[in-house]
Amino acid sequence: MTRTQQLLADDPLWLIVLKVVLLFAIGVVMTLFMINWERKVVGRMQQRPGPNRVGPGGWLQSLADGLKLAFKEDIMPVMADKRVYFIAPVISTIPAFVAFSVIPFGGTVTIFGEETVLQLVDLPVGVLVVLACSSLGVYGIVLGGWASGSPYPLLAALRSAAQVISYEIALGLSIVGVILYAGSMSTADIVGAQSSGWYVLLLAPSFVVFVISMVGETNRAPFDLPEAESELVGGFHTEYSSLKFALFFLAEYVNMVTVSAMATTLFLGGGQIPWLPALWSGFDSGWFQFLAFVLKMFIFLFVFIWLRGTLPRLRYDQFMRLGWKVLVPGSLLWILMIFAIRTYRNSGEGVTSLLVAVGIGLAVVLVIAFLVPDRQVQQEPVIEVASDYPVPPLDLTVPTPPRHKLRARRLAAGAENREPALAGGKDKKDV
């Protein structure tokens, strides 16, 4: 048993309850802050003022919106499955908070005279707990769309199921390299293994895949296909209102905080900054690590907002192609390279020749993958084919509305009636 596990095992009951309450408060407060921060940043990007009325500088706007949702009328569709309709938002929200329990927010601290670690529990499979919680959250979206009794939320729920399946695989593969180098699936052990250097430098391809996959996993722009307001009205939560809608909103933003904290833990060393303790021993304290952890987490949260204000939404076939044809094969090739490098290091062989051989092989594979044309496009050059997935035809024409057709016929008939009358009048005048 490690020192972290020993300290957590010795926590009294009141300290465990305090940690649970603080984790819940962090999730709720971060949601209120993120909603307002996102609106302000996106407004700044679009050269317009964001929320600036409620509270100092408008920072209480999201709190006012939450109170408004709590007092709004709760409308349930007639065709809805009442039990599933009620429990679906709860299923989405609870796993988002459970994932907080295994994240190490800092090192060893003293709280009211009790020495402990800024973490609720340190499990040997902590990484798998976070992956399981992110996978369970989609059940709430699917059940909410199905239980609404409407086709549009159901379509959005099905899109969400396909999205999570696709990007959950890439997300899991990106963590394999971290587990291999850390030698453990415990989040505390992974942070401790980065005391001399962060994995973002050593495992840069895994970091890139993880960041892309976590955006798709949380249904955020440009991967917000389950909502897709332009196509599916409001998405899977079209038929929801009041507190049930607020729970879906809460789950989305808590998931953003969770994956940002997980990215900080896996690739940025948690709250550790390796070169600062050498300057001053105070930088090695648990509370300073907590502050560093929060600052790193805010960097990832800003990336979420930056992407939403910058990139347009991807088409469904583009989104699926990115997941299955780019991220998953690229992660598999990277894992093979990691295994080969570690095997050569353990056997005592030279690494330079191995890297050259693997680099040449990877370059050949990429050249073949990008240069070979699509068979469907080559056989049928006349037909415009966007992809292998079912998408609307590219030559759509907007038909004339029936009301406009009827009006055109009336105008044409009126013109025909006026022409003989004018001609007859002219003949009489000439006579």
**Is 296 in the same domain as 353?**
no
What average pLDDT score do residues 124-148 get?
89
Tell me, what's the pLDDT at 103? 93
Domain identity same for 228 and 377: no
End of a domain among 359, 381, 403?
381
The helix-helix angle for 242-267 and 82-98 (nearest 10°) equals: 30
The reply to whether 272 falls in a domain is: yes
**Mean pLDDT of all residues in 338-353:** 71
- Confidence (pLDDT) at 24: 93
Same domain for 109 and 128?
yes
Q: What HEC string does the chain produce?
A: CCHHHHHHHCCCHHHHHHHHHHHHHHHHHHHHHHHHHHHHHHHHHCCCCCCCCCCHHHCCHHHHHHHHHHHCCCCCCCCCCHHHHHHHHHHHHHHHHHHHHHCCCCCEEEECCEEEECCCCCCCCHHHHHHHHHHHHHHHHHHHHHHCCCHHHHHHHHHHHHHHHHHHHHHHHHHHHHHHHHCCCCHHHHHHHCCCCCHHHHCHHHHHHHHHHHHHHCCCCCCCCCCCHHHHCCHHHCCCCHHHHHHHHHHHHHHHHHHHHHHHHHHCCCCCCCCCCCCCHHHHCHHHHHHHHHHHHHHHHHHHHHHHHHCCCCCHHHHHHHHHHHHHHHHHHHHHHHHHHHHHHHHCCCHHHHHHHHHHHHHHHHHHHHHCCCHHHHHCCCCCCCCCCCCCCCCCCCCCCHHHHHHHHHHHHHHHHHHHHHHHHHHHHHC
Distance CA 58, CA 52 (A): 4
Using pLDDT thresholds of 50, 70 and 90, give the confidence band for residue 388: low
Same domain, yes or no, for 48 and 27?
Answer: yes
Q: How far apart are CA 69 and CA 87, in angstroms?
A: 18
Does the pLDDT at position 70 exceed 90? no
The per-residue pLDDT of the chain, averaged, comes to 82
- Both 262 and 354 in one domain: the answer is no
Higher pLDDT, 156 or 424: 156
270 or 370, higher pLDDT: 270
Q: Is 275 domain-assigned?
A: yes
Mean pLDDT of 179-184: 91
Domain match, 349 and 292 both: no
In a domain, 165, yes or no: yes
Q: Is residue 353 in a domain?
A: yes
pLDDT class of 385 with cuts at 50, 70, 90: very low
Whether 188 and 255 map to the same domain: the answer is: yes
In the prediction, which pLDDT does 138 show? 84
pLDDT 10s digits, 238-290: 888 888 989 988 998 999 999 999 999 999 998 888 877 777 777 778 889 99
Confidence of residue 64 (pLDDT cuts 50, 70, 90): very high
The pLDDT value given to residue 280: 74
- Specify whether 309 is located in the same domain as 368: no
337 falls in which pLDDT band (50, 70, 90)? confident
Residues 338, 375, single domain; the answer is yes
pLDDT at 229: 55
Sorting pLDDT into bands at 50, 70 and 90, what band is 354? low
Mean pLDDT of 389-402: 55
pLDDT more than 70, % of the chain: 79
Q: Is residue 142 part of a domain?
A: yes
Give the pLDDT mean for 368-382: 51
Please give the share of the chain, as a percent, with pLDDT higher than 90.
Answer: 35
Q: What local confidence, expressed as pLDDT, does residue 358 receive?
A: 67
Give me the pLDDT at residue 397, please.
Answer: 59
Predicted local confidence at residue 379, as pLDDT: 44
Last residue of a domain, one of 289, 314, 339: 314
Domain-embedded: residue 148: yes
How much is the average pLDDT of 132-156? 86
Of 89-103, 120-134, 156-170, minimum mean pLDDT range: 156-170
**What is the band of 63 on the pLDDT scale with cuts at 50, 70, 90?**
very high
Residue 57 clears pLDDT 70, i.e. is over it? yes
Q: Quick one: 295 and 327 in the same domain?
A: no
Verify that 348 and 278 share a domain, yes or no: no
Residue 6 confidence (pLDDT): 85
Question: In terms of residue numbers, what domain contains 228?
Answer: 3-314
- Averaged pLDDT, 129-146: 88
Residue 409 lies in a domain: no
Between 121 and 227, the higher pLDDT residue: 121
Give yes or no for a cis peptide into 89 (omega within 30° of 0): no
**Amino acid identity, residue 77?**
P
Q: In whole angstroms, what separates CA 45 from the centre of its chain? A: 21
Contact between 73 and 241 under an 8 Å Cβ cutoff? The reply is yes
13-38, pLDDT tens digit by residue?
A: 999 999 999 999 999 999 999 999 99
In a domain, 405, yes or no: no
pLDDT band at 378 (very low <50, low <70, confident <90, very high): very low
Residues 214 and 337 in one domain: no
Among 41-45, 165-169, 318-322, 347-351, name the most confident range. 41-45
Q: How many domains does the chain have?
A: 2
The domain boundary, picked from 260, 294, 314, lies at: 314
